Amino acid sequence: MEVTASSVLVLPFTPASVGVARRRLVSDLIEAGLYGSAVSDAALVLSELLSNALRHGTPLPGSRLRVAWHLDADSVRVSVSDGGAPTRPELGEPTQSTTGGRGLRIVAKLSRRWGTGSDEEGTTVWAEVELSQLTAVAVPAAAAETG
């Protein structure tokens, strides 16, 4: 069964790219047979990583950033690369009613693991969203039952 999907997008370093990348990811995952929370969790994780890069990072050369995802049998790995920032990504500790600091906590909660890397080009933040049995490609019959 074909469960592998990989994409790399190089997009302008602007807020409009968040939705562009997210919609491409969602359509790739649906095309690969995923649905439900696997798709929406991956979309949320990607949106948070991209928002962080745009807020705290710097562009790659040419005022760009790079987004990639890879789907395998039991997870979706998404990653966002920018030109780096003066500070490393950190989990915020927001109180319930403060604004801000939530993005990476959401990533940490929705992914089985996440991490950062840096090289001469800049910083990459990645996260792996696990596919549960209910949302995995192998059991599409569950879709009809939940409708």
107 and 78 Cβ atoms separated by less than 8 Å: no
**Minimal distance, residue 57 CB to other proteins, in Å:** 13
> In this complex, which beta carbon is closest to other proteins, that of residue 103 or of residue 122?
103
**Bridge partner list, 77:** 70, 128
Between 88 and 109, name the residue whose CB sits nearer to other proteins: 109
Residue with tokens 């080009």: 121
Q: Which is nearer to other proteins, 102 or 112 (CB)?
A: 102
Our CB check for other proteins shows the closer of 22 and 66 to be: 22
Is 87 buried (19+), middle (13-18) or exposed (0-12) by CB count in 10 A? exposed
Please report how close the Cβ of residue 35 comes to other proteins at its closest, in angstroms: 12
Closest contact distance (angstroms) between CB of 49 and other proteins is 10
Output 16 or 142, the one with its CB closest to other proteins. 16
Min dist. Cβ of residue 94 to other proteins (A) = 8
8 Å CB contact between 70 and 76: yes
- For the CB of residue 122, give the shortest distance to other proteins in the complex, in Å: 19
User: What are the distances in angstroms from CA 77 to CA 21, 23, 70, 94, 141?
Assistant: 14, 16, 5, 26, 25
Q: Which residues bind other proteins (CB under 8 A)?
A: 15-16, 18-19, 22, 37, 40-41, 43-44, 47-48, 50-51, 54-55, 96-100, 102-103, 105-106, 109-110
d(CA 19, CA 17): 5
